[in-house]
A and B are shown apart, each in its own frame.
Chain A
Amino acid sequence: MNPIAGRSRAFRIAGYLAMLLVLATIALPLYWVLVTSFKTPDMVYIQPPAWWPDPVTADPYSRVVEQVPFLRYFTNSLIITGALVTAKLVLGILSAYAFVYLRFPGRGLVFMLVLAALMVPNQITVISNYALISQLGWINTFQGIIFPLAGVAFGTFLMRNHFLTLPFEIIEAARMDGCGHMKLLLRVLLPMSWPTVVAFALITIVNEWNEYLWPFLVASDETVAPLQVGLARLISTDAYIDWPMVMAATILTITPILIVFLLLQRHMIKGLTSGAVKG
């Protein structure tokens, strides 16, 4: 008994050490960003670099608001993310309903067509889409950013898989009570589906909030540029970079999504894994 217990104890200690190492690897970079955002510009350029700001100053945060149209970028991100999440939820749920509850010749084939869109990488679509958006005169507009991103493949897949797990007797009973399609969806199916809908919404919020390449190409100034594009612009010059201000802007950019994540991570992880952990 003793050698086994000893081995298993050594295993546990190694486990806790590994956990500490992992925690440090994730937390240290974030700590570094946070600490830098409270430094004076001079503090950044000392060697060896300081792990604690002295003096502590919140000036970098006021410089973000004064020198960068930060609120404008933030509002743009809210508009773009809000529109895309709404569009994708509606389109995804309606498509999934049709794929599960309505008969149509070649339905499986149509579903594969939606799903295969996941396999098309963005670099092969951006050139032609950019040309199309230019022709429409939609460069530097919200619709130019939103429309090309609004089709939904993953969410359709997620909702369809979920609908397939619901007991069909309930749907049949509702239909026999004279329940029409819209009523069936809104009153019967959705109330049974909130966890999946929340997972779908969260994954979409995170993806669209963090989207970079397409808004970067379409937005030419701060009237429509989202937060990520605005943030990256802060270090786009070869000239002097105000690192505390840039790090303050980074903190302001990542905090909202981290709060959303910490509150609702369970739902998001459930959505990500539900399509993956199947035989």
Chain B
Amino acid sequence: MDITSATAAGPPPAPENGRTVAEQGGGTARVGDRIFLGLSRGSGILLLVIMAAIAVFLTIRAASALSHDEGDFFTTFEWNANATPPVFGIAVLAFGTVVSSVIAMLLAVPVAIGIALFISHYAPRRLAAPLSYVVDLLAAVPSIVYGLWGALFLVPHLSGLYGWLNDYFGWTGVFAYHDGAARSLFTIGILLAIMILPIVTSVSREVFLQAPKMHEEAALALGATRWEVIRMSVLPFGRSGVISASMLGLGRALGETMAVATVLSPSFEIGKSLLDPGGGTFAQNIASSFKESGEIGKDALIASGLVLFVLTLLVNGAARLIIARRKEYTA
């Protein structure tokens, strides 16, 4: 059962392809080969050019805004880029973006791994296929719909949970809750967790399905339970895949705009509690400030976009490092 689904989902068997490529590569290069080489090289270069163009555009526009900034760009708790003189800083935005994404990751990744394992190793096939479709369907819901759902359904229903958190964990300060609508960074974290669930789940599922059957069967033959099989052969094999899936999810969480803008009650201060309204994220601030911005205001928003750009690059770079190191163990 598992074997068939694995081959069905995986890429076509490798040996055949490998041989034909080797045969063709050996002789004098054919026209088709050269065209294909040109096309793929061109695509690769195009990608680099696009990235460089975005970086250059962001840097040039950001520089002109930063030269006008009266505050410190990294530590000012204020966004008044259209005032004279303009004062703006990204401290609150960076904090909100990172914190809400981290909350989303903490909530989403364990659940996603659970769903992926259930679909790939536990669920009967009749259930597994529709379940994976449903999870994938979550990715197709536009973010504004998540925003509306969050604002009209999630927010009113969270006050009970927040009251409970306040009763038991309020003493930490981080989970203190003072009544009012639950339009906080924590709510955003929950919403983002739901939004990144499909991507993390489906990539992890694919990876788990690729775990070598021989390992699993060998473990079973030695008398391991299902959980021991998963722990000893599936999880170690899938670790780098799960990490890269999580990073894809993190990328989405960092850049999410509309859902955050609809649900959050943005303000330019960092509260001690995650449950009180306030905070903001880069993308949300760009979306809500762009309409009424003057020239410097737009450039200031672009400067904040540059920081988000760099942040995502760093996250992806870190993910690559982790994966590269893991590969040695799993290969």
Chains A and B come from one and the same complex: no
